[in-house]
């Protein structure tokens, strides 16, 4: 769905919002990034941001509610920006659920087992691909249609 009326400001902010779930996908990718150091070079700025947000207490919760109240629930923002904000929040909630599942599975299989590493790498790569896809579509001024998440995001926007 092409939206030519989308401003450059909305496109830029929509793309930046996806940094939130992208940063919080890094814990799933530490195994992969340690095995391929050349790949980790691409994520150095995100790793630095992850370190800053982890060093501040409740930073992820503050960012979460900041996006929720300042972007998604603010009727002064365009629908495009609110939709992308909600979709980024839903991506982060999905990552939290995966984190809880991995917290249950990792002790059962072992933290460094093949199953745990494969699941973590899959979650990481899926999150990175989804975030970059959404960023590119946002910069183009088009809605990023992710299965199930886009429908849930649009139903939450009034």
pLDDT in tens, 1-16: 544 578 999 999 999 9
Q: Are 144 and 3 in contact (CB under 8 A)?
A: no
φ and ψ of 142, to 5 deg: -115, 155
- pLDDT for residue 107: 82
For the chain, give percent helix, strand, coil, nearest 5.
80, 0, 20
Task: Round to whole Å and give the CA distance between 32 and 36.
Answer: 6
Mean pLDDT of the chain: 91
pLDDT in tens, 67-76: 999 999 999 9
Residue 79: which H helix or E strand, with range? helix 79-109
Of 117, 137, 119, whose CA–CA distance to 127 is shortest? 119
Mean pLDDT of 16-40: 94
pLDDT over threshold 90, residue 134: yes
The mean per-residue pLDDT over the stretch 60-65 comes to 93
């Amino acid at each position: 769905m092409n939206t030519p009326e989308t401003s450059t400001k909305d496109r830029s902010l929509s793309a930046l919002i996806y940094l939130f779930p992208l940063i919080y996908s890094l814990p799933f990718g530490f195994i992969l990034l340690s095995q391929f150091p050349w790949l980790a070079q691409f994520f150095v700025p995100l790793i630095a941001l992850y370190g800053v947000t982890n060093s501040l207490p409740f930073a992820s919760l503050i960012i979460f509610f900041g996006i929720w109240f300042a972007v998604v629930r603010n009727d002064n923002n365009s629908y495009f920006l609110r939709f992308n904000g909600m979709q980024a929040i839903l991506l982060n909630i999905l990552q939290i659920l995966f984190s809880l599942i991995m917290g249950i599975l990792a002790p059962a299989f072992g933290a460094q087992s093949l199953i745990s590493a494969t699941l973590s790498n899959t979650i990481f790569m899926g999150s990175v691909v989804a975030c970059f896809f959404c960023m590119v579509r946002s910069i183009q001024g088009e809605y990023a249609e992710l299965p199930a998440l886009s429908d849930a995001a649009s139903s939450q926007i009034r």
